Structure 1
Amino acid sequence: MNWYVEVLKKYVVFDGRARRKEYWMFVLFNTLIAVGLMILGVVISGPGRGQMLSNVYQLAVLLPSVAVGIRRMHDTDHSGWWILVPIVNLIFACTEGTRGPNRFGGDPKLTEQFA
């Protein structure tokens, strides 16, 4: 859960780098929360109108989602604009980041070890 909260704290930070673990843990928790809210909405409002809570939540985390995605692209030493290319961004998100510093900043694995 700490990975999820850390991404929310950096909700408009588009520079720097994000490890694979940070990105995928955010995606996991984001998906679980959205599905949970959708189920809760269906229970409360009935079928057909149950997506309202989930949609509001997804709108609230739109900027953090884009920011962590861009930082993930930066970790693989690619421009954040690659997040707009559907299959390629998934490949980059799964690829190990550049070891050591790159043009977008220091290695997040190294800075995390010393923190």
Structure 2
Amino acid sequence: MFLNPFSLKGRIRRTEYWLTNFIYAILYVTYIFMYEVVKYNNNEFAVIFIGLLFLPLWYILIAQSVKRSHDIGNSGWFNLIPFYGLFLLFSDSNEGDNKYGSNPKK
């Protein structure tokens, strides 16, 4: 689990996708809290720094969504469809191998 979080290739299970979204939500709430505290203190450099720290987390979420799309046999571009992430949370993976790799359940 979480072997290549920055990679856009391969497939991941539903469990890993759920955990990724859960961790992202916790870190996002923490980020918003830190952002508001720093903004209240009028420290513009810290606001920019905190924003830049959040970019890798955002990329990991996108990469995991692409890999989850691959797991159900769809292209990563399907993530541009509104609310497609909710579909990814509940849909089951393709049985066996597909063009994106082997089944991660094995």
Q: Residue 72 of structure 2: which of 58, 76, 84 is its match? A: 76
Alignment of 1:67-106 (within 5 A): 67-106=63-102
Alignment of 1:57-76 (within 5 A): 57-76=53-72
Distance change (3 Å), C-alpha of 1:58 and 1:44: closer
Q: Residue 14 of structure 2: which of 14, 20, 45 is its match? A: 20
> Alpha-carbon deviations, 1:58-87, whole Å to 9, x = none?
322232222111100000111111011113
Larger RCO of the pair (alpha carbons < 8 Å, separation 6+): 2
Q: TM-score, normalised by structure 1?
A: 0.72
Gap runs ≥5 in structure 1: 111-115
Q: How many residues were matched structurally?
A: 104
- Taking only aligned residues, the RMSD between alpha carbons, in angstroms, comes to 2.7
Retained in 2: the 8 A contact 1:82–1:89? no
* Structure 2 residue aligned with 1:113: none
* Structure 1 residue aligned with 2:30: 36
Gap runs ≥5 in structure 2: none
Name the % identity: 25
